[in-house]
């Protein structure tokens, strides 16, 4: 019965999103705060240090934190405005219950818990334990990520737990494990400073990781050349030394061709290849036919640009290669990542000062959240849930019989598919808004409507939670202590600035209470977040993501500690692989052959235009948080269809015209924004909005066979002019997800 209980308008009226603005005179007491709390931004993987001002147990403003070494006070607009959530009129203050025809009504915690647990038991008794699934997210701290991994397996006893990291960096994780045996960026950001060449593929750095821009410019001031691979001229690409405007879905062809040029010109580190890698010949053999002409034809990038990129990369003494969702959100996301790693390994530039490689993790705890067990195939310390030794080790720590530890479950999108097929009947979610963030979301909505019971833990009523039976009012980032691991592998401390308002509870307390009622209370008896972290330390010990030597005290004293950190006297590891001993079975870094293949959907006569999606600087992911902050909404109020004037002219499209974009999944209308900063065969729509203006109505749900990441970044579409200009009404209401 997970359909909306009343009209969407009525839900929005009560629960928003509403735009919140700071009063002109500031929140009461902001300029005389009771305390100023050092913590971090709640948004992206940079995890910038920030200080929150608190008056009367409310967050009222911020003050830059100059001493935190990564950002030294620097922030993006989201960071500046992040304080507006704790005090927000949409903030959930009570558990809620769905009442048909009425909406969502506040109820007592005891009733909410009782209903939740009785439904879990009913569904599991009737259909089996795995018929109740769990979806989590990596905006959660390490403590919560660890605890949810344990909760799903030990209290809920289901195999079907996965997380929204599945839409984030799993292709990079899988590629890194294949090549290096560890899933982490190889260097801290400070190694960018003296890199001679920086190559960034598929990352709109200045909009999605704005504070990283400073590091890129520092390197450029020291003479670095910047190469950007992106179908659009993004703000970071605008001033780059070389921009390769690649056709979406052809990244591995580009990197394959570059590998061939490196080989043909002998721009190789033969000593490194010989002594510290395996698979070089196979990788080279896979690209032997990838000539410049071929690459130009496939990727749409001019041959001389590819040649120049290869030459700069090949001849450099130091370099840093970074990539993000642009190359990872593909049915060959892992292949794309491996094709990048191949050129890093061929030139041996890793494990040395100013020689680095890595993914730029997107979510706040995208790094730590993917290490400690809330992936469907993983146990803490980045252990493998199918590995008997790993299962035994974790079962002992958790105090359970190994036979009772569920096996590998379904990945996030597969879980939705299983719900749609009627195999999974119940769902608990936290920190995940799949109705906006998953592809082909009409299908996701159909799946949600088939659930017999859905309970959501969240601090706002996000679009997916509109379909819930019970909503448990949880905690914001600033309402619960914990740690997160930043995109550079630095474990940092999140401090509790305020307690949850009203009757909302800390997520940790909600999970503990659910566990108790499910009969596993003795396994979830944590006095505080630090107690969870201390168990995580033990559970990660000896794993590839080893946190054993990291303590709250050490984090606070050192402004973060880089994992792996296996013992209390270990300094942490800002730079991996200095000893050239890789974490693979043979101790070598692995080349992997990457033959090029097409995306799952290519253009044809019916759908002749390439559609790609991404983000804007003022919004974050599914927008559940940022579409509630007035100034961030006003900065970019609605999704626009970026289209090149030449392509637009074929359809008679003018700037501001309302255009129907149709794919095999559905169609939606967007105002056209005519810009010369995009390829002539590709259109772009940002995806932060729900309802009728959700770009993910159009995207395709096909998955990478290894990482199971959906192919958000490329599909085929058709453009149809509606014959009218876009209305202001559309612009004024887009943030609410009608």
Partner 1 sequence: MAVSEYNQEMEFFVDMQRCIGCHACEMACAECETNGQESMIHVHYIDRAVSVQTTVQVCMHCDEPACATVCPADAITKDNFGVVHSANTSRCIGCSNCVLACPFGVPIKFEESELMMKCNMCYDRTSAGKKPMCATVCPSQALYYGTREEIRKRRPESVPVNTFKFGELEVKTKVKIMMPKGATKIIVD
CA 601 to chain centroid, in Å, comes to 23
Both structure tokens of 302: 């001019």
Q: What is the full DSSP assignment across 285-354?
A: HHTTT--HHHHHHHH---HHHHHHHHHHHHH-SSEEEEE-HHHHSSTTHHHHHHHHHHHHHHTT--SBTT
CB of 529 to partner 1, least distance (A): 29
Both structure tokens of 146: 């660890």
CB of 682 to partner 1, least distance (A): 16
CA dist., res. 417 & res. 723, Å (int): 37
Can you say whether the dihedral through the CA atoms of 539, 543, 546, 548 is positive or negative?
positive
Return the SS3 of 10. Answer: helix
For residues 495 and 677, which CB has a smaller minimum distance to partner 1 in the complex? 677
What's the number of CA atoms in the CB half-sphere (13 Å) around residue 621? 27
For residues 83 and 443, which CB has a smaller minimum distance to partner 1 in the complex? 83
CB of 223 to partner 1, least distance (A): 9
Q: Count Cβ atoms within 10 A of the Cβ of residue 705 and give its class: 0-12 exposed, 13-18 middle, 19 or more buried.
A: exposed
* Among candidate residues 365, 390, 378, 401, the one with its CA nearest the CA of residue 542: 390
Mode of pairing for the β-strands spanning 667-674 and 197-201? unpaired
CB of 53 to partner 1, least distance (A): 10
Return the SS3 of 441. Answer: helix
CB of 39 to partner 1, least distance (A): 16
Backbone angles phi, psi at 386, to 5 degrees: -95, -5
For residues 32 and 527, which CB has a smaller minimum distance to partner 1 in the complex? 32
For residues 7 and 222, which CB has a smaller minimum distance to partner 1 in the complex? 222
For residues 24 and 729, which CB has a smaller minimum distance to partner 1 in the complex? 24
List helix spans (H) across 383-494.
388-398, 412-420, 434-437, 441-450
For residues 289 and 634, which CB has a smaller minimum distance to partner 1 in the complex? 634
In DSSP terms, 58 is beta-bridged to: 55
Q: Each residue of 486-514: b (16+ CB within 10 Å) or e?
A: bbbbbbbbbebbbebbeebbbbbebbbbb
CB of 184 to partner 1, least distance (A): 24
Alpha-carbon distances of 675 from 62, 687, 720, rounded to whole Å: 36, 18, 18
CB of 137 to partner 1, least distance (A): 25
CA dist., res. 170 & res. 164, Å (int): 10
CB of 236 to partner 1, least distance (A): 7
For residues 215 and 577, which CB has a smaller minimum distance to partner 1 in the complex? 215
Residues in contact with partner 1 by the rule CB under 8 A: 21-26, 31, 61-62, 64, 66, 71, 73-77, 79-81, 206-207, 210-211, 213-214, 217-218, 221, 233-236, 238-239, 617-618, 631, 635, 645, 655, 673-677
For residues 63 and 311, which CB has a smaller minimum distance to partner 1 in the complex? 63
For residues 89 and 519, which CB has a smaller minimum distance to partner 1 in the complex? 89
714 and 253 Cβ atoms separated by less than 8 Å? no
For residues 504 and 640, which CB has a smaller minimum distance to partner 1 in the complex? 640
CB of 238 to partner 1, least distance (A): 5
Alpha-carbon distances of 401 from 152, 165, 523, 538, 656, rounded to whole Å: 15, 29, 13, 18, 62
For residues 72 and 423, which CB has a smaller minimum distance to partner 1 in the complex? 72
For residues 31 and 556, which CB has a smaller minimum distance to partner 1 in the complex? 31
Return the SS3 of 491. Answer: strand
For residues 22 and 702, which CB has a smaller minimum distance to partner 1 in the complex? 22
CB of 76 to partner 1, least distance (A): 5
For residues 558 and 635, which CB has a smaller minimum distance to partner 1 in the complex? 635
CB of 540 to partner 1, least distance (A): 32
CA dist., res. 40 & res. 306, Å (int): 39
* Mutual angle of helices 507-515 and 109-127, in 10-degree steps: 50
Alpha-carbon distances of 207 from 44, 76, 604, 614, rounded to whole Å: 11, 9, 32, 10
CB of 240 to partner 1, least distance (A): 11
In DSSP terms, 678 is beta-bridged to: 232
CB of 62 to partner 1, least distance (A): 7
CB of 28 to partner 1, least distance (A): 13
Give the single-character DSSP code of 436. H
């Amino acid at each position: 019965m997970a359909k909306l209980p009343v009209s969407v308008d009525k839900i929005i009226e009560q629960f928003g999103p509403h735009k919140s603005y700071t009063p002109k005179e500031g929140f009461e007491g902001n300029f005389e705060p009771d305390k100023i709390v050092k913590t971090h931004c709640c948004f992206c993987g940079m995890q910038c240090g920030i200080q929150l001002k608190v008056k009367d147990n409310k967050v009222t403003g911020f003050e830059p934190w100059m001493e935190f070494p990564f950002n030294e006070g620097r922030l993006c607009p989201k960071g500046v405005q992040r304080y507006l959530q704790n005090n927000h009129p949409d903030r959930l203050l009570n558990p809620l219950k769905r009442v048909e025809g009425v909406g969502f009504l506040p109820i007592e915690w005891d009733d909410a818990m009782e209903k939740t647990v009785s439904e879990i038991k009913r569904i599991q008794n009737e259909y089996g334990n795995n018929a109740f699934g769990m979806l989590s997210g990596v905006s959660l701290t390490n403590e919560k990520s660890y605890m949810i991994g344990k909760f799903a397996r030990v209290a809920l006893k289901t195999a079907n737990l996965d997380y929204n990291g599945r839409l984030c960096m799993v292709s990079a994780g899988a590629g890194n494990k294949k090549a290096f045996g560890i899933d982490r960026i190889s260097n801290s950001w400070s190694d960018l400073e003296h890199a001679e060449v920086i190559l960034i593929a598929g990352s709109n750095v200045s909009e999605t990781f704005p504070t990283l821009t400073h590091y890129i410019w520092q390197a450029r001031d020291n003479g670095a050349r910047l190469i950007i691979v992106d179908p659009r001229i993004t703000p970071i690409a605008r001033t780059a030394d070389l921009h390769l405007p690649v056709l979406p879905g052809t990244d591995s062809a580009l990197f394959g061709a570059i590998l061939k040029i490196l080989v043909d010109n002998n721009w190789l580190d033969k000593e490194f290849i010989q002594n510290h890698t395996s698979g070089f010949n196979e990788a080279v053999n896979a690209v032997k036919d990838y000539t410049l002409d071929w690459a130009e034809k496939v990727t749409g990038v001019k041959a001389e640009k590819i040649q120049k990129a290869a030459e700069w990369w090949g001849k450099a003494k130091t370099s840093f290669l970074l990539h993000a969702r642009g190359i990872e959100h593909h049915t060959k996301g892992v292949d794309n990542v491996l094709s990048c790693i191949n050129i890093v390994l061929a030139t041996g530039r890793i494990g040395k000062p100013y020689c680095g490689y890595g993914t730029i993790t997107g979510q706040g705890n995208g790094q730590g959240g993917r290490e400690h067990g809330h992936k469907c195939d993983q146990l803490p310390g980045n252990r493998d849930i199918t590995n008997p030794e790993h299962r035994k080790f974790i079962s002992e720590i958790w105090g359970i019989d190994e036979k009772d530890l569920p096996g590998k479950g379904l990945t996030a999108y597969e879980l939705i598919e299983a719900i749609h097929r009627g195999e999974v009947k119940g769902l608990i979610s936290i920190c995940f808004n799949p109705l906006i963030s998953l592809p082909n979301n009409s299908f996701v909505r159909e799946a949600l409507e088939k659930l017999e019971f859905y309970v959501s833990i969240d601090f706002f009523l996000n679009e997916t939670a509109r379909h819930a039976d019970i909503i448990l009012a949880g905690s914001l980032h600033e309402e619960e202590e914990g740690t997160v691991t930043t995109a550079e592998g630095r474990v940092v401390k999140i401090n509790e600035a305020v307690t949850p308002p009203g009757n909302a509870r800390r997520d940790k307390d909600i999970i503990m209470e659910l566990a108790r009622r499910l009969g596993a209370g003795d396994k979830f008896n944590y006095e505080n977040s630090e107690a969870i972290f201390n168990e995580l330390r033990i559970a990660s010990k000896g794993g590839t993501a080893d946190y054993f030597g990291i303590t709250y005290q050490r984090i606070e004293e050192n402004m973060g500690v880089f994992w792996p950190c296996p013992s209390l006297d270990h300094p942490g590891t800002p730079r991996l692989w200095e000893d050239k001993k890789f974490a693979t079975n043979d101790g070598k870094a692995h080349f992997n052959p990457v033959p090029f293949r097409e995306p799952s959907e290519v253009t044809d006569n019916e759908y002749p235009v390439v559609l790609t999606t991404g983000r804007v600087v003022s919004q974050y992911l599914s927008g559940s948080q940022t579409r509630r902050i007035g100034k961030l909404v006003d900065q970019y109020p609605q999704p626009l269809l970026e289209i090149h004037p030449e392509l637009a002219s074929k359809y008679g499209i003018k700037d501001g015209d309302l255009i129907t974009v149709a794919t095999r999944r559905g169609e939606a209308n967007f105002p056209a924004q005519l810009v010369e900063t995009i390829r002539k065969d590709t259109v772009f729509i940002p995806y932060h909005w729900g309802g009728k203006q959700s770009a993910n109505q159009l995207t395709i749900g096909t998955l990478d066979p290894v990482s199971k990441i959906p192919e958000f970044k490329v599909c085929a579409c058709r453009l149809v002019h509606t014959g009218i200009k876009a209305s202001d009404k559309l612009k004024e209401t887009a943030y609410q997800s009608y």
